[in-house]
Amino acid sequence: MNQTELLSEALNEVSDEQIEEAVQYQKKRHRPWLRWGGLAACLAVAAAAALILRPAREPAPAGGDPAPGGTSLQAEEVPAPEAVQPAVQFEDPQQETETASDEPASPAYSSGIEWEEVSAEDYGGVYAEACLAYLTPEEIFAMDTVIFRGIPRNVRYFRVRIDGMDCWYRVFSVEVTACYRGDLQPGDIYNLLCDGPSTVSGLIDDLDTAGEAIFMPKIATPETGFSIHGSSDFFCYADLAELYLGEGIRFLFTEHDGRVDYARDVYDISAADGETVTLDDVAAYIESMIG
């Protein structure tokens, strides 16, 4: 008997009820490979996405705090940021007052001259002129000057050699307490250049002991300075200070122990108490003159 005949005989031995039960059983069977196969497909997609979105940087060894991008960095592997200093720093007197210095400006405008800072003992003094051109108070206050009240904080001495001649200058560091004309603010500290070869020193000699004073200087620019007989050698005031006094008689009011010294032959200033002129009286007079 061949295999076909054997199969046919076996089927004949199976009842109709057994065949029906077998059919129903096949319908109830689960196919778990479909569920696990779908899950495997999802995992494959997720793995591919992870490879695509993975940052180029390899994660550091575990143990550090998570860093942006999902990598982990050890704390000691993060270098401390280095302070970056600007290549050039510019001085702005009004903005530098919180850490103001009495260092002179960097020499940039003078030509053909030499200078050095000297001690008070080596300071050579100034040349004095016996006469000054007559100017009325109105003419003086019409000049292009800043006018402020301040306290001298420090003084430095300089020898400037130009065309073989030594000229002597003092540079005062002055803290502004009030400003009557100009953009100076209380608390600002400015360098004030005084003296020179053709200056009457006058009240400048009293500045290093003055408790307070009122100043009427000009602003030093690259064009302001001193030369001899049209020589190409030129000393620029702006190389040592932001402000300068041409002379210290009519442009300066100093106070010592409640007494104010000034050019009384030029200014007619009334005392509020009828007796002693104070710096407050001088300030009121100046404000009335400049409007």
For 120-175, the pLDDT digits (tens) are: 999 988 766 556 788 999 999 999 999 999 999 999 999 999 988 899 999 999 99
Query: Does residue 1 sit within a domain?
Result: no
Q: Are residues 47 and 190 in the same domain?
A: no
Residue with tokens 């129903």: 24
Q: Are 215 and 245 in contact (CB under 8 A)?
A: yes
Domain hosting 25: range is 15-53
In a domain, 132, yes or no: yes
Please tell me the distance from the alpha carbon of residue 249 to that of residue 263, in angstroms, as a whole number: 6
Which residue is listed with tokens 């199976």?
14
For residues 33 and 122, membership in a common domain is answered with no
Range 143-152 burial, b when 16+ CB lie within 10 A, else e:
eebbbbbbeb
Are residues 22 and 111 part of one domain? no
Interatomic CA distance for residues 254 and 208, integer angstroms: 10
Task: Indicate whether 222 belongs to any domain.
Answer: yes
Q: What is the DSSP letter of 50?
A: H
Range of lowest pLDDT (39-48, 205-214, 275-284)? 39-48
Same structural domain for residues 274 and 166?
yes
Cα-to-chain-centroid distance, residue 255: 34
Please tell me whether residues 49 and 157 are part of one structural domain: no
In total, how many domains does the chain have?
2
Same domain, 130 and 34: no
DSSP-based helix, strand, coil % in the chain, nearest 5:
25, 25, 45
CB 107 within 8 A of CB 239: yes
Average pLDDT, the chain: 73
**244 occurs within a structural domain:** yes
Q: What is the pLDDT of residue 126?
A: 73
Residues in CB range of 216: below 8 A, 6 or more apart: 140, 143, 145, 146, 147, 245, 250, 251, 252
Tens of pLDDT, residues 49-104:
443 333 333 333 333 333 333 333 233 343 444 443 333 333 444 444 444 445 55
Kindly state whether residue 67 falls inside one of the protein's structural domains.
no
Note whether 47 and 179 are same-domain residues: no
Span 248-257, pLDDT tens digits: 889 999 998 8
Do both 170 and 259 map to the same domain? yes
Q: What is the DSSP letter of 27?
A: H
Residue 180 lies in a domain: yes
Q: Is residue 172 located within the same domain as residue 47? A: no
User: Which residue in this structure is represented by tokens 């009384």?
Assistant: 264
pLDDT in tens, 234-290: 999 999 999 999 888 899 999 988 889 999 999 999 999 988 999 999 999 999 999
Position 45 pLDDT exceeds 60: no
Instruction: Grade residue 18 by pLDDT with cuts at 50, 70 and 90.
Output: low
Cβ contact 170:157 at 8 Å: yes
Q: Are residues 229 and 136 in the same domain?
A: yes
pLDDT tens by residue, 169-201: 999 999 999 999 999 999 999 999 998 876 676
pLDDT, residue 258, reads 80
